[in-house]
Amino acid sequence: MNIPNILSIARIILIPLNVLALFKWPLWAFIIIFLITALSDFFDGFLARRWGQATTTGAILDILADRLLIIGLYLAVAVKFNIEPLYIALILFRDIIVFIGRIAVSILYDVKNAQLMVPAQAIGKATTVMQLVLIGVIVLGLRSAELIYLTIGLSATSGFYYIYKGVRTLLEPRNK
């Protein structure tokens, strides 16, 4: 167990607190908890790379924390702010597919070797940032159709990219 992994676990623990704050607490409380949660996503990866503590467990925890955060918050925001279910489904479909695909690749390969997993790409990180920004915009009452469409487009593009990379990884001969 290292600090980056602890940050990923803390992010998972903060998900229900984010949802509770969204529905029951003042807006400022949600914003603080949301920002802490979102920043932990940046710092766990940054610190893991900086301190040479990147592990397969950490990569899986980070993926799990990211996907659970996005899924949990989008479902909560959809309910609280009456967002079109199709928009939410299009955004979340990518996250569910990427999550299942990454776990499948990690199980099919030697789980101890994080290099064999489909690594996070810039487009995936940009998608997660855009998804979090959209949540913040919606919560602040600044709903923008353009931003929703941009997030859906980026989610779809990165989803197709990860599917492509995952299939290529699965088709590559394994060195055992």
The model's pLDDT over 12-67, given as tens digits with 9 standing for 90+, comes to 999 999 999 999 999 999 999 999 999 998 898 889 889 988 887 888 788 889 88
H or E segment at 148?
Answer: helix 145-171
The structural domain count of the chain equals: 1
- pLDDT given for residue 18 in this prediction: 97
pLDDT score recorded for residue 174: 62
Q: Is residue 24 part of a domain?
A: yes
**Contact of 165 with 121, CB cutoff 8 Å:** yes
- Please, how many CA atoms are within 13 Å of residue 26, restricted to the half-sphere of its CB? 3
Task: Give the domain extent around 38.
Answer: 3-171
Give the number of C-alpha atoms closer than 13 A to the C-alpha of residue 54, restricted to the C-beta side.
Answer: 13
Based on DSSP, count helices (H) and strands (E) in the chain, helices before strands: 6, 0
Number of Cβ within 10 Å of residue 25's Cβ equals 13
Tens digits of residue pLDDT in 72-112: 999 999 999 999 999 999 989 988 887 787 777 767 765 54
Backbone dihedral angles phi then psi of residue 96, each to the nearest 5 degrees: -65, -45
103-153, pLDDT tens digit by residue? 777 677 655 444 455 667 889 889 989 999 999 999 999 988 999 999 999
Of the candidates 102, 88, 75, the residue with the CA atom closest to the CA atom of residue 16:
75
Number of Cβ within 10 Å of residue 54's Cβ equals 19
Q: What CATH number has the domain bearing residue 31?
A: 1.20.120.1760
- Report the amino acid identity of residue 76: A
Q: Is residue 132 included in any domain, yes or no?
A: yes
| Cβ pair 34, 135 in contact under 8 A | yes
Q: Is residue 176 part of a domain?
A: no
* Token reading at 104: 């499948």
Tokens 């509770």 appear where? 20
CA-based torsion, 19, 45, 88, 142: positive or negative: positive
Global pTM reads 0.85
Please, are residues 19 and 76 in contact by the beta-carbon 8 Å criterion?
Answer: yes
